Homo-oligomer: A and B are copies of this chain.
Amino acid sequence: MNTAVDHKETNGGVTYNLEEVQKQVVELKGRIDALSKNAPEDKLAMIVFSGDLDKALAAFIIATGAVAMGMDVVMFFTFWGTPILRDKQKKAGGKDMMGTMFGAMLPTGSGDVKLSKMNMGGLGTAMMKSLMSKKNVASLDQMVEMAGELGVRIVICEMSMDLMGFKREEMIDYPHLSYGGVATFLEEAGRSRIQLFL
């Protein structure tokens, strides 16, 4: 059945060798495995650094849009973005002077953030909110809730929490909330098809 006779093929002076071809196939498979492992996933990773209403809206419009298109979405809130996720109904005690000052000066949640431009002492922000409501654009509050329902994951930067003196008990109840550092973001972003810094 198996003899030297079927070990090689010759056609037009070229010699083919099944053993050699099988080896090449195994090698290619290894390379394809490596490419697949490194290929970006259908995921979007976003840093929300800004604490402005307009950028926060853009962040949640992109996030909910992406998750509605079937993508995995992770938002990493850091620096000025962190206070957007405070819950105005919650209080955290035991803060030092700096923490108390930051707590008082920074916005308390998504209802409290301002436009980066044309805020005009709050008038511009109020105008924009009224306009959004009239045009049936969801408010930031509603978008955060929608993001939670759609499965958008949120990671809050631990270093920002620590610097601003925020405590976990004063942050919003969000179904997919966790805390992490820059390594958390980089691991997610490294496997993401889209990365954005807002």
Interface residues of A, Cβ cutoff 8 Å to B: 1-11, 14-16, 18-19, 21-22, 24-25, 28-29, 31-32, 35-36, 38-40, 42, 44, 47, 49, 51, 54-55, 58, 61-62, 65-66, 69, 71, 78-80, 98, 101, 105, 116-118, 127-128, 131-132, 134-135, 137, 159, 162-163, 181-183, 185-187, 189-190, 192-198
Contacts and interface: CB of A to CB of B under 8 A. Distances in A.
A80 B66 contact: no
A84 to B, nearest CB: 13
A186 B135 contact: no
B25 A21 contact: yes
20 contacts: A1-B5, A1-B8, A3-B5, A6-B7, A7-B10, A7-B11, A11-B19, A16-B18, A18-B21, A21-B21, A25-B28, A47-B58, A61-B182, A62-B182, A80-B117, A101-B127, A135-B162, A186-B194, A197-B197, A197-B198
